[in-house]
Amino acid sequence: MEPILAPESIDLIALAPVIVLSVFAMMVLVVDLFGARDKGLLAFISLIGLLMTTISAFAKNPIPAYSFNDSYTVDHLSLFFICIFTISSALAILLSVEYNKREGIRAGEYYALILFCTVGMILLASSSDMIMIFLGVEIVSICLYVLAGIQRDNHRSNEAALKYFLLGAFATGFLLYGMALVYGSTGNTNLFKIADFMQNPSAQSNPLLLMGLVLLIIGFGFKVASVPFHMWAPDVYQGAPTPVTAFMAVGPKAAAFAAFFRVFAETFAAMAPSWEILLSIIAVLSMFFGNLGAIMQTNIKRMLAFSSISHAGYILIAVIAKNSLGSASLLFYMLTYAFTIFGIFGVIIILGRKGEENLEIKCYSGLAYKHPILAISMAIFLLSLGGLPPFAGFIAKFYIFSAAIQEGFIALVIIAVLNSAISFYYYLKVIVYIYMEEPTAEFKVSMSPLTLFVVLVGVAATINIGIFPGSIIALASH
Amino acid sequence: MFLTFVTFLPLAGAAFLIFTPKENAAAIKQTALAVAAADFLLSLFLWTNFDNTTHKMQFELNVPWIEAWGINFHVGLDGISLLLYVMTTFLTMICVIASWDVKKYIREYMIAMLTLSTGMLGVFVALDLFMFYVFWEFQLIPMYIIIGVWGGPRRVYASIKFFLFTAVGSLLMLVAILWIYFHIQETTGVATADILYITEHLSAPLGTQKWLWMAFFLAFAIKVPMFPFHTWLPDAHVEAPTAGSVILAGVLLKMGTYGFLRFNLPFFPQVSYEFVPMVAWLSIIGIIYGALVSMVQIDLKKLVAYSSVSHLGFVMLGIFALNPYGIQGALIQNINHGISTGALFLLVGVIYDRRHTRLIEEFGGLSKVMPKYAVCFMIVALSSIGLPGMNGFVGEFLILLGIFQVNAIWAACATSGIILAACYILWMFQRVMFMEAKNPKNLALQDINIREAFTIVPLIILIFWIGLYPKPFMDTFDTSVTHLVAKVSPDNFGPSPRNRHDDQRGKHARLITPTEMASLHHKLQAPKKF
C-alpha cells in the first residue's frame, strides 16, 4: 500500500500548531461526550493542548516558511502572535474554570470552542492569502458568537450573542465583498502576489481597488471594534460571560490586527497615501469616542469595552506607521494588553458571586481597606492601561508612539497622548472608588485559587515588562 | 552605585513596610523615620564628597537598561541637582516626623511617602530622557494617593486635577522626547536618550526647536506652576495633608524649575534666549497676581499656596535672566522656598491639628496663647518676605540683580512683588497672632510640642544659615552655573537676536548643520567607543 503523501506545496510541519490544537479541541469534545463529570479535566486537556501548540509552533525551522501555495506563512510575526494567542487562551481557560462552576455554565464544548477559536486566530495571523484570512475570520467569529451566548438562561448573554452575530455577519459581508473587489482588480488573492502587482503604479489608481480597500477597512474595523464600527462592543462585552469578555478583548482582536497589519501595512504599503488618511481618521475617532464614552460609564465591563475601543485606536497607529517598529510595537502592545486585561477581568470575577456580579464601579468603594492585594492589582492594571510608567502599558504606548514618530506622524501622536490624558480620568475614577471612598458594604468575594493565580500572573508581568522590557522588545523586534 | 543606593533606599524601605503588620503603628513610624533619616545622612555624605570645582556629573552610574533602544540607566549629580537632591531627602525626613499623628492607614501613608521620595530623587538624578520621564510620571502616583486618601473634604477633586494637569503637560513632553530621540539617531547615528549626549549634539532647525521648547515648557510650567497654569496648585495644597503640602511646595514644584535648567536652557539655548520676554512677563504676572490673590485669601493654606505662585515667579525670572546672578539666585531661591514655604505649611498644620480650621478669622491673639509658636511663625514669615539676614533675601536679591542687568523695568515690576509679599504676610500675621484673642476656643491651645519643634527648628536654623552665610550652598553650584551660562550665552549662536535688524551678519549666520555636526563628532570621538 502506498503511503498517502501530502502534495509538495503543503508543508504539514509549518501547519503543526493548527493541527495539534484542532486535535486537542476534538479530544475535548470526545472526552466531554464520554461523560466527563468534572469539567476541570476538560480545562486541563485544553491547557495541555495550548502548551503543545506553542511548542509545535517552533517546530518549523528555518522561518519564514510557507505552505499551501504560499497562503499560509510561518514568520516572526505569526510565531509571536501564536504565543500571544496561546497565552491569552490559557489565561481565559484558567479564569473560566471556577467562574463556570459558579455561574452554572456546564457546557463542555465551552473549552472546545475556545480552542477552535484559537485555531482560527492562528490561521488569521499566519495567513498570506485573502481566502485564508476569510476562513480565519469566520472560524473566530462563529466560535465567539456561541461563546457570547453560552449562558442560555441569561437574557443579556443572549442579547450579546444575537447582536454580535447580526452585526458580525454583516461586517463579514463587507469584508468578503472587499476581498472580491481586490481580487477583481488585481487578479489574485495571494497577498505576496498582490504586493508584487502593486509595484506597478498604474494599478494603484484603480477605483475598484480603492473601493475594495475601503470595504476591507470596514470589515477589519468591525472586528477590532474601531469607531464607527464599534457599536456592538459595549453591549457584547457587558452581556457575555466575564471570562469570554476578557478572551474577546484580547485574542480575536490581536488576530484581527495581525491580519489588518499584513493586508495594509505589508501588502498595500505602496498605496499607503490612499488608505493612511482613512485609517488615521478611524484611529482618532476610536480614541476620542472610546475615551469620552468610557468616562460616562458606571458599569466596569462597559467602561472596559469603551477603553478597548480607544486602545484599538492606539494600535491602529502601529498599522499606520507600517514600519518595522510598527510591527514590533503591535506585538509588544498586544502581549502586555493580554496580561493587563486578563488581570483586570480576574479581579472582576473574584469580586462577583453567583447572581450578583457587582459590576457597578461604585461597588468597589473602599476595596483597598478590605482586600489590599486585589486593590493594588486593580490599580496597577488600570494605571498600566492608562500608560503610566513604570508599568508595561507605558512601554507599549511608548513603542507605538515611537513607531509613528519615526514615520513622521507627529499630529497623530499628539492626539494619542492627549487621549491618554483623557483616559487617565476614568481609570483614576475607579482608583478613587477603590482607595478614596469608605467601604459601603461587605465584600463578598469568591477567592478562587486559579483566578487569583491569573491576577498575580498579570501583576507580575505588568510590572516586570514595565521595568525590564528589554528581553521582550528584543523578541518582538527580531 | 552609591547614588543609586541612596535613591532607591526609600523604595526598599517602603517594600519592607508592606510586610510589617499594620497593627504595629509605632514600629511602622519608627522604621519609616529610620529609613528617611538614613537616606538624609547618606545624601549629606554625597554632599561632603561632592567636588565643587567641576560642572561635570559626579557619582555617575551608566548601565544599559533597554539595550534594543539604546536606553541606559544613567544617574549622576551635578551642582544644579545636588542641593535639590539633599533637600528632598531632608524634607522627606521632616515630613515623616510631621506625619507622626496620622491615624488613618499609617502604614499605607508611610509607604506612599517613601515611594514618593524615591520618585522625586529619581527625577533629580536621571540622566537619560526616558528614565527621567519614567520617574517624572511615577512620582505622580504616590502624591495622587497622598492627596486623595489623606486629604481634606475636596481631596478627590484636587487629586485628580493635580494628576491630569501634570499628565497633560508631560505627555506632550513625551512626544518631544521621542522626536529628539529619532532626530539624534538620524543626525549622529547613535540611538540614545542620554541627556548629556543630547545636550552636546542636538542640532534641530530653529523652527522645530521652538516647538520642542514649547513642549518641554508646558510640562515644566505646569509643574512650577507659572501663571496661567497654576490653577491646580491652590486646590492640591489646600486639600493635601500637611506633609503632602510640604513635599508639594518643597520638592515637586522644584522639579519644574529643575527641568528648565536641565532641559530647556541647555537643549535649546537660542530658543530660550528668544523666549525670554514671554517667560519674564508670565513670571511677573505670576509674581504680582499670586501676591494680590494671597492678600484676599481667608484660608491660611490657600494664602501660602498662592504665595508659592508668586515666589516661583521669582525663581523663573531668575532662570530666564540667563546670567550667573539670576541663575544662582534662582537655585538658592529654590532651596529657600522649599524651606520657608515648607515651614509655613508645617506651622499652619500645627494650628490646623488643634483647631481643625484654617480660616484666618477664626484666630487672633495667638501670640499670647502660643508664644513659642508665634516666634517661629514670625521668623518663617519674615524669611518668606525676604528680610535681610534670612535666606529669602539672598535669593531674591541675586535674582533682582540678575534681572536688572537684563531689563530694569522687569526688575522694578518684580520688586513690587516683594512689597506685596510683605503686605499679605504681615497682614495675615497680624490677624492671626496679634489683636485681641476673641475666640474662646483659642484660649486653651497648646503651644508647640517637642515633635513639632523637631520639624520646625531645623528649618529655622537653615533659614538663618543661608541668610547669614550662604557660601557653602552657593559654592556647590557655582561652577555648574558658570558652565550653563556659557552654554546659553548668545555668543554661541551668532549675533544676538536683538541687534538682528541692524546687523546684516544675522542673515547669514546659521546653525551648524547636522551633517557637519556628525562629522565633527566623528572626528572628536573616533577613538572612544559608544
pLDDT of residue A181: 93
Which tens digits make up the pLDDT trace of A272-299?
A: 888 889 999 999 999 999 999 999 999 9
Domain contains B223: no
Beta carbons of A424 and B164 less than 8 Å apart: yes
Beta carbons of B140 and A388 less than 8 Å apart: yes
Is A113 or B104 the better-scoring residue by pLDDT? Answer: A113
The mean pLDDT value of chain A amounts to: 89
Beta carbons of A401 and B174 less than 8 Å apart: yes
pLDDT of residue B449: 87
Distance of CA B278 to CAs A65, B314, B320, B321, Å? 61, 14, 10, 12
Which single residue is written with the C-alpha cell 539676614?
Answer: B389
* Chain A CA closest to residue B150: A436
Beta carbons of A394 and B134 less than 8 Å apart: yes
Q: Crossing angle, helix A109-126 and helix A242-260, to 10 degrees?
A: 20
Q: Is the pLDDT of residue A317 over 60?
A: yes
Beta carbons of A474 and B164 less than 8 Å apart: no
B59: left (phi over 0), alpha (psi -120 to 50) or beta: left
Domain contains B361: yes
Domain contains B138: no
Q: How far off is chain B from A396, nearest CA to CA, in Å?
A: 13
pLDDT of residue A175: 93
Closest CA to A254 of A438, A108, A126: A126
Query: Which residues from chain A sit within 8 angstroms of residue B179, using beta carbons?
Result: 405, 410
pLDDT of residue B525: 62
* Chain A CA closest to residue B161: A425
Q: Is the pLDDT of residue B530 over 60?
A: no
Q: How far off is chain B from A11, nearest CA to CA, in Å?
A: 34
Beta carbons of B175 and A418 less than 8 Å apart: no
Q: Is the pLDDT of residue B528 over 70?
A: no
Q: Are strands B58-66 and A65-67 parallel, antiparallel or unpaired?
A: unpaired
Beta carbons of B105 and A420 less than 8 Å apart: no
Burial class (CB in 10 A: 0-12, 13-18, 19+), B469: exposed
Cell of B506: 544675522
Q: Is the pLDDT of residue B500 over 50?
A: no
Query: Which residues from chain A sit within 8 angstroms of residue B135, using beta carbons?
Result: 389
Q: Is the pLDDT of residue B514 over 80?
A: no
pLDDT of residue A26: 93
- Tell me, yes or no, if A410 comes closer than 8 A to chain B by beta carbon: yes
* Chain B CA closest to residue A395: B134
Q: Is the pLDDT of residue A144 over 90?
A: yes
pLDDT of residue A346: 93
Q: Is the pLDDT of residue B496 over 50?
A: no
Q: Is the pLDDT of residue B437 over 80?
A: no
What 3-state DSSP class applies to A129?
strand
* Chain A CA closest to residue B212: A410
Q: Is the pLDDT of residue A49 over 80?
A: yes
Domain contains B46: no
- pLDDT class of B526 with cuts at 50, 70, 90: low
Beta carbons of B134 and A369 less than 8 Å apart: no
Mean pLDDT calculated for residue range A448-465: 92
Q: Is the pLDDT of residue B529 over 80?
A: no
Query: How many CB atoms are located within 10 Å of the residue B360 CB?
Result: 17
Closest CA to A429 of A392, A370, A385: A385
Range of the domain at B379: 269-491
pLDDT of residue A202: 80
Which tens digits make up the pLDDT trace of A58-87?
A: 887 777 888 888 888 888 889 999 999 999
Beta carbons of B138 and A406 less than 8 Å apart: no
- Tell me, yes or no, if A477 comes closer than 8 A to chain B by beta carbon: yes
- pLDDT class of A3 with cuts at 50, 70, 90: low
Which tens digits make up the pLDDT trace of A258-274?
A: 999 999 988 888 888 88
Q: Is the pLDDT of residue B504 over 50?
A: no
Distance CA A452, CA A445 (A): 11
Q: Are strands B71-77 and A72-74 parallel, antiparallel or unpaired?
A: unpaired
Distance CA A152, CA A172 (A): 25
Above pLDDT 90, what percent of chain B?
A: 47
Four-residue CA torsion sign, B310, B311, B315, B318: positive
Query: Which residues from chain A sit within 8 angstroms of residue B178, using beta carbons?
Result: 398, 401-402, 405, 413
Which neighbouring-strand residues pair with A299? A360
Closest Cβ opposite residue B171 in set A368, A418, A473: A418
Q: Is the peptide bond before A228 cis (omega within 30 degrees of 0)?
A: yes
Distance CA A404, CA A77 (A): 19
Mean pLDDT calculated for residue range A407-433: 91
Mean pLDDT calculated for residue range B196-219: 89
For B346, residues 6+ apart whose C-beta sits below 8 A from its C-beta are B94, B98, B242, B246, B452, B455, B456, B459
pLDDT of residue B191: 86
Mean pLDDT calculated for residue range B348-355: 88
Which single residue is written with the C-alpha cell 552609591?
Answer: B2
Q: Mutate one of B141, B145, B180 to test the A interface: name it (highest A CB count within 10 A).
A: B141
Q: Point out the least confidently predicted range of A15-24, A146-155, B237-246, B515-524.
A: B515-524
Which tens digits make up the pLDDT trace of A423-439?
A: 999 999 999 999 888 88
Q: Which of residues 161-220 of B touch A (CB under 8 A)?
A: 163-164, 167-168, 171-172, 174-175, 178-179, 181-182
Q: How far off is chain B from A366, nearest CA to CA, in Å?
A: 11
Distance CA B124, CA B256 (A): 11
Which tens digits make up the pLDDT trace of A300-316?
A: 999 999 999 999 999 99
DSSP for A329-385, please give it: HHHHHHHHHHHHHHHHHHHHHHT-BTTB---BGGGGTTHHHH-HHHHHHHHHHHHHH
Q: Is the peptide bond before A390 cis (omega within 30 degrees of 0)?
A: yes
Alpha helices in B320-357 (DSSP H): 324-355
Contacts A–B by Cβ distance under 8 A: 83
Q: Is the pLDDT of residue B498 over 60?
A: no
Which tens digits make up the pLDDT trace of B353-400?
A: 888 888 888 888 888 888 888 999 999 999 998 888 888 888 999 999
Which tens digits make up the pLDDT trace of B83-113?
A: 999 999 999 999 999 988 888 888 889 999 9
pLDDT of residue B246: 92
Beta carbons of A474 and B182 less than 8 Å apart: no
* Chain A CA closest to residue B178: A402
Domain contains B387: yes
- pLDDT class of B490 with cuts at 50, 70, 90: confident
- pLDDT class of A101 with cuts at 50, 70, 90: confident
* Under 8 Å between Cβ of A46 and A115: yes
For B444, residues 6+ apart whose C-beta sits below 8 A from its C-beta are B369
pLDDT of residue B54: 85
Q: How far off is chain B from A69, nearest CA to CA, in Å?
A: 35
Domain contains B333: yes
Query: How many CB atoms are located within 10 Å of the residue B63 CB?
Result: 10
Distance CA A149, CA A158 (A): 5
Q: Is the pLDDT of residue A50 over 90?
A: yes
What 3-state DSSP class applies to B60?
strand
Which tens digits make up the pLDDT trace of A7-35?
A: 666 778 888 899 999 999 999 988 888 87
What are the φ/ψ torsions at residue B213 (nearest 5 degrees)? -60, -45
Which tens digits make up the pLDDT trace of A361-388?
A: 888 888 888 888 899 999 999 999 999 9
Mean pLDDT calculated for residue range A346-359: 83
- pLDDT class of A340 with cuts at 50, 70, 90: very high
Q: What is the ipTM of this complex?
A: 0.91
Alpha helices in A5-57 (DSSP H): 16-33, 39-57
Closest Cβ opposite residue B163 in set A420, A424, A469: A424
Q: How far off is chain B from A470, nearest CA to CA, in Å?
A: 5
Count of helix runs (H) and strand runs (E) in chain B: 24, 2
pLDDT of residue A55: 92
Mean pLDDT calculated for residue range A318-333: 91
Distance CA B493, CA B508 (A): 12
Quote the radius of gyration of chain B (alpha carbons, Å). Answer: 23
Four-residue CA torsion sign, A185, A189, A195, A197: negative
* Chain A CA closest to residue B179: A405
Instruction: Give me the number of domains chain B comprises.
Output: 1
* Under 8 Å between Cβ of A424 and A295: no
* Under 8 Å between Cβ of A419 and A288: yes
pLDDT of residue B503: 43
pLDDT of residue B12: 93
